[in-house]
Amino acid sequence: MDLTTAIDMDSNKLLNLALRKGGDYADLYFEQNTFHSIVLRDGEVNAAATDNEGGLGIRVVSGQNTGYAYTESSLPRDREEAARTASHIAQGLIRTSKPVQIATMNLPDRYRILKPWEDFSPQDKMPFLYDLNDRIFSADKRVKKVTARLSDSTSRIEIYNSLGIHCTDVRPLASLSVTCVMESNGQRESASASRSFRMGGEFLHPDLIRELAQEIITRTSFLFGAKQPHGGEMPVVMAAGGSGILLHEAIGHAFEADFARKKVSIFSDMMGKRVCNPGITVIDDGTIPGNRGSLNVDDEGVPGQKTYMVTDGILTSFLHDRISARYFQSEPTGNGRRESFRYMPMPRMRATYMDNGRDTEETLIASVKKGLYVDTFSNGQVQIGAGDFTFYVKSGYLIENGKLTQPIKDTNIIGNGPEALARITGVTRNCLIDDGAWTCGKEQSCAVSCGMPSVLVSSLTVGGRV
Amino acid sequence: MKQKDLLQQMCDYALEVSLRKGAQHARIAAISNTAHELSVLNDTIDTIQKSVDSSLMINLFVEGRYGTCSTNKADPAGIDKLLDDAIASVRLLAPDPFRKLVPADLRYKGVPLYSAHRGSVDTEVKKAFLSGCAASIWGKDPALISVTAGYSDYRRWLHLADSDGLSCTSENTWYSLSVECAVRGRGDTRPSDWDYEGGIKPEDIGIGSPGIPCRCAASALERALAKRNPRKIGSGRYQVIVENRVAATLLSPMIDAISGSSLQQQNSFLLDKLGKSIASPALTLIDSPCLRGSPGYRFFDSEGLATAKRTVIETGRLNMFFLSTYYALKMQMPVTISAPSLLLLKAGKGNAATFAGLIKNGIFVTGFNGGNCNTATGDFSYGIEGFKVENGQITYPVNEMVMTGNMLDLWNRLLAAGDDALKTMSWQIPSLVFDTIEFAGL
């Protein structure tokens, strides 16, 4: 499949075939994706990978129900067979919709590609990995191993739907990740760091390499003096940036409207109600230029946008795809996303962050007699219905009598979403988006990002020694 | 043409072109997969999905250099173009003398693996099966908010070949049924839980015998209801029972730590432990790839190494590392296998309930909520959910607790393993009981 094939084909015919048994809506999602990666290991860039794949996903929606099929073939008979398969969901239902005249939608360009990745060979990319490796080894004699991976992908998508919408998007995604192992006096520690943006080859810049080298050295060195903390309930100051994982896990998933539609989210019945203290505003944003979670258009033809989930402490919007928007008689919010043409779209986050408050980080730390300050994270999880969420802390400090003291590492923090939100008692004015390679794994993988100003949560359960 | 022959033809073509275009060696995997999924939400068919995939994965060895390329397009022109670009790219890389094909004496040379059901299940049969499953509990308990019943099946063909003569084939099917229930709990909470059945043929999940799906649905509902109104309990050291269906979570960091990629990068807390005691004598772990009908059943790994039954850990002593050809050469150690196939933790006697009968003050862990393990040190911290065990009885549900420790210490505290491993999992780990572990709560 390529875009030319998609444009030339009779999309109306396929949409008609998909809706032959009825149904409210149908769409065609064409995708062509090219992926490259190179790996540095033991001082050499000596492995490379290339993947080239594409296909067409066809979806029929009937009420809240979905029929889906995809084909990797560009043959008309295979595409028609996929449309027939998807059409089965509407069997026996009376609602019907027919495709209308298709018009092409104009979209903004939030990830302008200055240097297309297809113009870059491994030879153009390798010096950046060697530079990163050299900087890390020369910075600290304790460094034993460095592994770095540079990957880039360019995804070309094209959508037609029975509402008459046609749009195309070209989505670049570049990521550089590094892992460092250090050893000192028989103690080994490892840490990882990454950067990821929707950018072309201009992503490769000496400043990026310098920044990442410095960060991985700092992160790994820090661990030698750190300990697992004592566990229990305590106040936690979450540093600006990656602490946005709190929002992603504690509330973001529970605001994804497929869960609310199925009545399995703890926030299902809380629209319009207070969920946080006044002054707290939480946003899911697909419009940040070059951000890993940004979208010109989502995967069902809804323009990328900025969605205020919580406004001044009140739950004001779920994150919708077309199905949940119809159910809640709301507008889709541009959150209908999918991993690839192989998956049907569902509500997913983009870049989730909290607006600035009025406090300073120093005052938050000073207000805590005994607690924790946390600043780097690796992974998180949530139980949508029970509301219990966790995130894993790679590093931070104890707070004792208002000051940062003992470095800490490797602790899981657990809380309950609505309770934790209500316990946010301080928000600073230093909101920072974390540009690491965050990936959300709700049934499918999706590139996301998160951010946060520093906040004080008055009580969370910290894992640790007892 | 039969699927097996078609995949072999694709491999032969890609091999021939790879060599013609400049590779000295190549390994090709051709995969074809057909899958169906249906779900019922409460009393309505919610989703129907059909997937037909094919992919070609090519490992290229060019002038002492190594790279891979893959595509889901099987047309010769597309493969030719992909290989032109990939080989040109690989030539630009640094040499890697440790990249080799599988040694001839370790290569799989046997018959094709066939672990598949003949025939298919009609869509209307699937719909009736799932609807019946959900209907067996929907509306039967006032606390039940939602039930999602999911059916899936797949048929997967694989042909793996290399330029030194490797040629092996497999065909697998798998059928599964899952049921998830959400119930109304205290306040706005909606605790949920699930159950699962799986097997290589439709009968394994109860197609044609309604007892199995009804039991699966009833179990999911019962588990969800039991999780209502949980409490957080005091921080402290507790004896722990870990349920069979989640016990693999605790084993996973141990397996990661003895895999070639972690060891060679010195990012492993088991780096110097080969031949040494790393766990309690109650831990014996066997990789048993040839248990027909089980998930993980295979005759060869992803590079064509023949699988074999191996004792990974014997009464607490570490017997082997998982080393592919590449990592074995880099580490100057014998090649074993790249990853475990079907891990069996040697059974003892009993299950979670019988273990609970022996515990005065403990926690029965039925699920993990997030958490991680530091690969270099073995320090871990996991969120948990489960039940308090008091005076030999499994009592009220607990949540918002975190279990923390070090992997080596944890596994040295293993007291006993049960005999209730689930046959639907590729890591068949029974319920386990550990001596006191640290939990943070109130």
* DSSP string computed for B47-85: EEEEEEEEEEEEEEEETTEEEEEEES---HHHHHHHHHH
Same domain for B86 and B168, yes or no, is yes
Short-list B387, B385, B38, B353, CA closest to B213: B38
Same domain for A246 and A209, yes or no, is no
Same domain for A290 and A186, yes or no, is no
Exposure string over B145-159, b if 16+ CB within 10 A, otherwise e = bbbbbbbbbbbbbbb
Using an 8 Å CB-CB cutoff, list chain A residues near B246: none
Q: State the Cα–Cα distance between residues A195 and A437, nearest whole angstrom.
A: 6
ipTM of the complex: 0.91
Judge residue A358's burial from the number of C-beta atoms within 10 Å of its C-beta, 0-12 exposed, 13-18 middle, 19 or more buried. Answer: exposed
Contact (Cβ atoms closer than 8 angstroms) between residue B44 and residue B174: no
Same domain for B221 and B240, yes or no, is no
| Cα A381–chain centre separation | 13
Q: Say yes or no for a CB contact (<8 Å) between A463 and B402.
A: yes
Same domain for B312 and B353, yes or no, is yes
Q: How far is A244 from chain B (nearest CA, A)?
A: 16
CATH at B50: 3.30.2290.10
Same domain for B367 and B265, yes or no, is yes
- Name residues 317-346 of chain A within 8 A of B (Cβ): 342, 344
Is A100 in CB contact (< 8 Å) with chain B?
A: no
For the record, the structure tokens of A114 come out as 């200055």
Mean local confidence (pLDDT), B435-442: 93
Predicted pLDDT of residue A97: 63
Same domain for A303 and A389, yes or no, is yes
Taking the CA atoms of chain A, what radius of gyration do you get in angstroms? 24
Same domain for A216 and A297, yes or no, is no
Classify residue A39: in a domain, yes or no: no
Angle between helices A11-18 and A76-87 in degrees, nearest 10: 30
Number of domains in chain A: 3
Contact (Cβ atoms closer than 8 angstroms) between residue A51 and residue B69: yes
Contact (Cβ atoms closer than 8 angstroms) between residue A298 and residue A263: no
Condensed to tens digits (0 to 9), the pLDDT of residues B423-438 reads: 999 999 999 999 999 9
Q: How far is B402 from chain A (nearest CA, A)?
A: 5
Q: Which helix (H) or strand (E) holds B397?
A: strand B393-406
Condensed to tens digits (0 to 9), the pLDDT of residues B325-373 reads: 999 999 999 999 999 999 999 999 999 999 999 999 999 999 999 999 9
Short-list B58, B73, B56, B48, CA closest to B25: B58
Same domain for B254 and B367, yes or no, is yes
Q: How far is A38 from chain B (nearest CA, A)?
A: 9
Place of tokens 């570049």: A174
Contact (Cβ atoms closer than 8 angstroms) between residue A50 and residue A35: yes
Choosing from B226, B256, B277, the residue where a domain stops is B226
**C-alpha angle with apex A382: A307 to B254, nearest 5 degrees?**
135
Condensed to tens digits (0 to 9), the pLDDT of residues B178-189 reads: 999 999 998 889
Residue by residue, pLDDT tens for chain A (466 residues) are 343 344 445 888 899 999 988 899 999 999 999 999 999 999 999 999 999 999 999 999 998 889 999 999 888 888 999 999 999 888 655 455 666 678 889 899 999 999 999 999 999 999 999 999 999 999 999 999 999 999 999 999 999 999 999 999 999 999 999 999 999 999 999 999 999 999 999 999 999 999 999 999 999 999 999 999 999 999 999 999 999 998 998 889 999 999 988 888 888 889 999 999 999 999 999 999 999 999 999 999 999 999 999 999 999 999 999 999 999 999 999 999 999 999 999 999 999 999 999 999 999 999 999 999 999 998 888 888 888 899 999 999 999 999 999 999 999 999 988 889 899 999 999 999 999 999 999 989 999 999 999 999 999 999 988 8
Domain span at residue B395 reads 232-442
| Cα A446–chain centre separation | 6
Same domain for A255 and A381, yes or no, is yes
Q: State the Cα–Cα distance between residues A172 and A35, nearest whole angstrom.
A: 10
Number of domains in chain B: 2
Predicted pLDDT of residue A272: 95
Same domain for B175 and B275, yes or no, is no
Q: State the Cα–Cα distance between residues B208 and A139, nearest whole angstrom.
A: 66
Predicted pLDDT of residue B22: 95
For the record, the structure tokens of B288 come out as 């048993």
pTM: 0.93
Q: How far is CA B39 from CA B79, B148, B192, B287, in A?
A: 37, 7, 17, 34
Is A302 in CB contact (< 8 Å) with chain B?
A: no
Contact (Cβ atoms closer than 8 angstroms) between residue A373 and residue A227: no
DSSP single-letter state for residue A157: E
Same domain for B256 and B321, yes or no, is yes
Classify residue A161: in a domain, yes or no: no
Q: Pick from A72, A122, A388: which is nearest to B72 by CB?
A: A72
Domain span at residue A262 reads 232-462
Same domain for B245 and B355, yes or no, is yes
Predicted pLDDT of residue A103: 85
Q: State the Cα–Cα distance between residues A261 and A384, nearest whole angstrom.
A: 13
CATH at A149: 3.30.2290.10
